[in-house]
Chains A and B, each alone.
Chain A
Amino acid sequence: AQKVTQAQTEISVVEKEDVTLDCVYETRDTTYYLFWYKQPPSGELVFLIRRNSFDEQNEISGRYSWNFQKSTSSFNFTITASQVVDSAVYFCALSEVNDYKLSFGAGTTVTVRA
């Protein structure tokens, strides 16, 4: 059975600090997809990134970056120079091929203080 672990429950930082969110996953499949979603205080779930298991290149999008390492089954997410608007719950999720669902981690609550 697939599983996603986000060991950090809460992280609190001061604005402009960098913050890294850890995500470790388990799957028996060789083909799978990893996702990050953001849930701001308003409650909606916002898609951030999708990465397939064959693409280990790191990705950067503005202040967001992702580090995918198959060797350690991790897909970590870094927010550089955090801002108050980054305060949210961040979810890591896994989907296997032919699996009509996302399996989510428990989420990490990020609080950015001004």
Chain B
Amino acid sequence: DTAVSQTPKYLVTQMGNDKSIKCEQNLGHDTMYWYKQDSKKFLKIMFSYNNKELIINETVPNRFSPKSPDKAHLNLHINSLELGDSAVYFCASSHGGSGTDTQYFGPGTRLTVL
């Protein structure tokens, strides 16, 4: 059973398009996250949600809008895609979010904007 899953695994699209990435966790965790990994492999937090409430929005452009319909899902919608949005996006979850708990990551979604 996959603990944290993301779809799609690969996403290739044109500049200006709108796209979504879905994330689901079956671990019963309360907190979910989105991270971006750039071409140099640097990982940076984008959003944190605890019990469906937004906790962190780390200076991400408002073209990025996370949505958490329930505790098990955190989707990422991106409007008006730009070349600089090309990256690998990782979803993660943890039991709590206070910094004490281990985050478990999904397999990543490689987004390529042409």
Residues of chain A having any CB pair with chain B under 8 Å: 32-33, 35, 37, 39, 43-45, 47, 50, 52, 89, 91, 95-104, 106-107, 109
Contact = CB atoms under 8 A, between A and B. Distances in A.
23 contacts: A33-B100, A39-B41, A43-B110, A45-B90, A45-B92, A47-B105, A52-B100, A91-B43, A95-B99, A96-B99, A97-B98, A100-B31, A100-B55, A100-B97, A100-B99, A101-B48, A101-B56, A101-B58, A102-B43, A102-B45, A104-B42, A104-B43, A104-B44
Contact of A97 (B43, B50, B100, B107): B100
A19 B99 CA distance: 29
Nearest to A39: B41
Interface of B: 31, 33, 35, 40-45, 48, 50, 55-56, 58, 88, 90, 92, 97-100, 102-108, 110
Contact of A100 (B35, B56, B104): B56
B31 to A, nearest CB: 7
Nearest to B99: A95
- Residue from the set A47, A96, A100, A102 with the largest chain B CB neighbour count within 10 Å: A100
- Residue from the set A32, A50, A102 with the largest chain B CB neighbour count within 10 Å: A102
B102 A44 contact: no
Given A43-B107, A100-B56, A101-B58, A106 B99 contact: no
Nearest to A94: B99
Given A45-B105, A100-B98, A107-B41, 8 more contacts: A45-B92, A52-B100, A97-B98, A101-B58, A102-B43, A102-B45, A102-B103, A106-B42
Contacts of B92: 45
A41 to B, nearest CB: 12
Nearest to B45: A101
Given A35-B102, A50-B102, A106-B40, A100 B88 contact: no
A50 B56 CA distance: 22
A90 B40 CA distance: 13
Contact of A47 (B41, B45, B104): B104
Contacts of B33: 100-101
A45 B56 CA distance: 21
